[in-house]
Structures are given as structure tokens and as C-alpha cells.
């Protein structure tokens, strides 16, 4: 079988392999609802990513979530009053979340070839799923196809794109021996157990993609969300946000340190939120983006193409 067929089958069956019993899957949903209600540190870290798309929360806005395996992305935005459809390549959790009336609608979809018509949703939201896709560029084009106004992709930031010294060092060492840096940069060629290469996102990558298909604008915002905490993973879902939580205080200190390094230009943000607009947003949307800390880029028109 071809790479894409093997990869899609592997991704589609991942939840069934990890959580074979419906009881296990319902427990995951129950645990998330408890974390949301208690505002645990783990939920707060996810919510900080959801809030990167708060600019689009307006009446009568329709949203498609992509790679939303548990349906939790849709749950957040539906709670904000949006008309949301959740999608994922696996149909393990979404029917259960819909059955419990936590989301209104879902569809089992391959992000690289969705069944929706063109311009079917106002926006498409894809959080921490791009790096799971076997062929992410194809998924981005599909998200743009079904979106009317734009798409939001939230992913780990590609460090090389913002660290010219590191890039220069890589280029120098690669000329000497392409395998030399690999001894120290262990995740240079990183794969997940499910079989995909782990992609990261950069501003320049998104900018070129958007300009290449004659789109009008993009916007970017980076934040540090401290994905270091594997050693305290369980505590993230037990302790709540507040002064009495040692985990919360530890993460806040690390965030402050990383924010300083980012401000000084010594390291990129850990997370990049990239918005690609299919149509030029109105002034109120641009203002809302800038108030949230986004940098908005309006592209010059292609002088050689006349489009309506």
C-alpha cells in the first residue's frame, strides 16, 4: 500500500487502538468536563490556545474544527455561541460527544480530502493537528477550499525560522558532515508512533503559501505555553489555576522566562498561531486581532493577474 493509505489507516484507527472500550472513551470525556469546570492547569494551557481565535467570536459565525479527535475544540467554541461542526479522521470520540449533547454536529473527515462544498464555513480552526497530518500542505489547501473567510492554524513554532545563528550553524555543519548535527539535534527528523513526520510551523512558510495562491492577508501571533511539563503531567490535570498550585506557579515562572527570551530575540515563541485570510477582513476584525497581539500583514496585489 502507498504511504498515504497506510498513514490514513494508522491515524484513523489510533483512538480505537489506544482506547478500545467505549467506557474508556467516556471517561476521557468526563475527565475533560471536570477539568474544564475546575479550571485545572492542563485545561488552562489548552484554553490559552483556544483564546488565540477569540477574535472570530461574533454572532452567526460558522466554524469547522479539523483534527478535533475528542471534540473538545468544538465544545469550546460552541460554548462561545458559534455554529460549530467538529471533524476528525477517527470516529471514536465524536459520536459520543454528540450523543451527550456537548456538540451540535460532527463529521468523520480526512483533512486532505473533505466532503464539504467550497466556502461552506466562515472559518476553519485547526489546533495542534497540522503536525499529525501525513501531507499537511494538502490539508491546508482543503481547509482553505471549505472556508469562506479564512483558516486558523495553531502549532509548535519552527525554531530555525526565528534563530538565524542556529540556521547558520546548521548550514556550516551540514557542509562538513550532514550527520554531524544529528548526534546532538535528536528530533531533527522526528516521527510519531502513529507514523507521521512531526511538522512545525513558520511564518515564512505560511506567507509563501498564501501569496502563492493570491490571497490577501495573513496574521501571526506567538505565545509560550510551556510544553516542558511531562514530568508533572498528571499534576497538570489535578491542580487548579491559582496561587496555591505549585505546578501553576512553576509554569508561570517558566513562561515569564521564555517570554523574556522571546522579547530579546534569543528564542522564538513555542507556539505560533497563523491565520490565512481568503478575503480581506473588515476593520473591526483587524482591530480585534491587533488588540489580541497579532501582527497583521496585508499583501500587495499581484500586478499580473486580474481577478474579480
Could you read off the pLDDT of 50-67 as tens digits, one per residue? 999 998 888 899 999 999
3-class DSSP assignment, residue 85: strand
Residue 308 within any structural domain of the chain = no
For 267, phi and psi rounded to 5 degrees?
-155, 150
Task: Residue 185: give the domain boundaries.
Answer: 3-298
CA distance 190 to 179: 15
Give the helix ranges, DSSP H, for 13-106. 14-18, 22-38, 41-50, 72-79, 94-99
Structurally, the chain folds into a number of domains equal to 1
| Position 306 in a domain | no
Pairing mode of beta strands 121-127, 105-108: unpaired
Q: Are 105 and 86 in contact (CB under 8 A)?
A: yes
pLDDT tens across the length of the chain (308 residues): 777 777 777 887 888 888 889 999 999 999 999 999 999 999 999 999 999 999 888 889 999 999 999 999 999 999 999 999 999 999 999 999 999 999 999 999 999 999 999 999 999 999 999 988 888 999 999 999 999 999 999 999 987 766 665 655 656 666 777 766 666 555 667 777 777 778 889 999 999 999 999 999 999 999 998 765 555 577 777 889 988 888 899 889 999 999 998 888 878 899 999 999 999 999 999 999 999 999 999 999 888 887 65
Residue 307, domain member (yes or no): no
Measuring CA to CA, how many Å separate 269 from each of 166, 186, 201, 258? 15, 20, 11, 8
CATH number of the domain where residue 10 is located: 3.40.50.150
Q: Cell 462544498 appears where?
A: 117
- CA angle 194-195-197, nearest 5°? 120
Cell numbers for 219, please give them: 496574521
Amino acid at each position: 500500500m502507498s504511504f498515504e493509505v497506510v498513514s490514513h489507516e494508522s491515524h484513523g484507527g489510533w483512538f480505537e487502538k489506544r482506547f478500545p472500550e467505549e467506557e474508556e472513551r467516556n471517561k476521557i470525556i468526563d475527565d475533560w468536563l471536570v477539568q474544564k469546570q475546575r479550571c485545572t492547569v492542563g485545561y488552562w494551557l489548552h484554553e490559552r490556545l483556544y483564546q488565540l481565535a477569540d477574535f472570530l467570536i461574533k454572532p452567526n459565525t460558522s466554524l469547522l474544527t479539523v483534527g478535533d479527535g475528542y471534540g473538545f475544540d468544538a465544545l469550546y467554541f460552541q460554548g462561545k455561541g458559534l455554529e460549530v461542526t467538529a471533524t476528525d479522521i477517527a470516529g471514536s470520540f465524536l459520536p459520543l460527544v454528540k450523543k451527550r449533547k456537548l456538540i451540535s454536529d460532527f463529521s468523520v473527515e480526512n483533512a486532505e480530502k473533505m466532503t464539504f462544498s467550497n466556502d461552506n464555513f466562515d472559518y476553519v480552526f485547526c489546533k495542534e493537528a497540522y503536525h499529525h497530518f501525513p501531507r499537511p500542505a494538502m490539508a491546508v489547501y482543503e481547509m482553505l477550499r471549505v472556508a469562506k473567510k479564512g483558516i486558523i492554524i495553531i502549532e509548535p513554532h519552527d525554531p530555525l525560522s526565528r534563530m538565524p545563528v542556529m540556521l547558520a550553524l546548521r548550514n556550516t555543519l551540514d557542509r562538513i558532515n550532514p550527520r554531524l548535527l544529528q548526534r546532538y539535534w535528536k528530533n531533527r527528523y522526528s516521527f510519531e508512533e502513529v507514523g507521521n513526520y512531526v511538522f512545525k510551523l513558520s511564518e515564512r512558510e505560511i506567507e509563501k503559501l498564501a501569496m502563492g495562491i493570491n490571497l490577501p492577508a495573513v496574521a501571526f501571533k506567538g505565545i509560550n505555553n510551556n510544553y516542558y511539563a511531562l514530568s508533572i503531567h498528571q499534576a497538570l490535570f489535578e491542580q487548579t489555576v491559582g496561587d496555591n498550585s505549585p505546578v501553576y506557579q512553576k509554569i508561570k515562572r517558566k513562561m515569564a522566562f521564555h517570554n523574556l527570551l522571546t522579547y530579546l530575540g534569543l528564542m522564538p515563541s513555542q507556539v505560533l498561531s497563523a491565520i490565512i485570510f481568503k478575503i480581506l477582513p473588515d476593520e473591526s476584525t483587524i482591530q480585534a486581532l491587533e488588540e489580541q497581539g497579532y501582527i497583521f500583514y496585508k499583501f500587495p496585489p499581484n500586478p499580473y493577474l486580474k481577478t474579480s
